[in-house]
Amino acid sequence: MNSIHDIGGMDNIGPVNIEKDEPVFHDDWERKVYAMTLATMGAGIFVTDEVRYMTETIPPRDYLTFTYYEKWLYSLEQMMLQKNVVARDELDSGRVTAPEMAAGIEAASLERMQYGMNNRIPVFVDTDIPPKFKTGDEIIARNINPLHHTRIPRYIRGRRGVVGMHHGIFLLPDTNAHGGPDKPQHVYNVRFSARELWGEEAPANDSLYIDLFDDYMDPAG
């Protein structure tokens, strides 16, 4: 979807303020939000792509002012409401009033959460689907503007690139973020020259590399 979250390649957004010796968490509530998100995802209540889509629905003014974990908290609350795990009055009051809504749901164990944080969890799909592209192919990123979640940023849409690497098969986020259907397809690393993206004033030797799904590309004619 096109919203304020997709600001890659834009100017005049302001500086990236780097905090020296920045801690992982600035306050204890951030730890709790992180833990609750992992625990509920580990319980299978929702998947990563659903959380990403929910973050994209944050009103633009709030998105630009929320801190990192305020965005996590917003997305977690909205997902729990959408999945009918909690009631609105429970979030407002901080008290459990409808325990039956979460009946039968078991949060991920501490051991499972620790394993997930310390190990790479494979997310590729083991299926036999022929790739649409190969290394060296010239492509054009599709100029699409879906209302649903997508992982193709605006600034590469309609631009020409070259496939440089094949990553394997993964679930397409565009459908996975909305409850399916599952749509496994190939993912590639694609190189775009800086001048293709930002014009002749961009450095001639600079390039941008981005991972793209089959559905995000067409062969360059």
Q: Give the pLDDT confidence of 132-183 residue by residue, as tens digits.
A: 999 999 999 999 999 999 999 999 999 999 999 999 999 999 999 999 999 9
Mean pLDDT of 5-24: 88
| Rounded (5°) CA angle 159-57-96 | 150
> What's the whole-model pTM score?
0.88
Q: What are phi and psi of 162, to 5 degrees?
A: -130, 130
Q: What are phi and psi of 48, to 5 degrees?
A: -55, -45
pLDDT exceeds cutoff 80 at 121: no
pLDDT of residue 12: 84
* Cβ neighbour number for residue 37 with a 10 Å cutoff: 19
* Residues 105, 84: Cα–Cα separation, whole Å: 12
Q: Please check whether residue 161 is in contact with residue 139, taking contact to mean a CB–CB distance below 8 angstroms.
A: yes
Q: What is the pLDDT of residues 43-58, one digit of tens each?
A: 899 999 999 999 999 9
Nearest Cα to Cα of residue 214 among 155, 134, 118? 134
Q: Please check whether residue 167 is in contact with residue 187, taking contact to mean a CB–CB distance below 8 angstroms.
A: yes
Q: Which residue has the higher pLDDT, 82 or 14?
A: 82
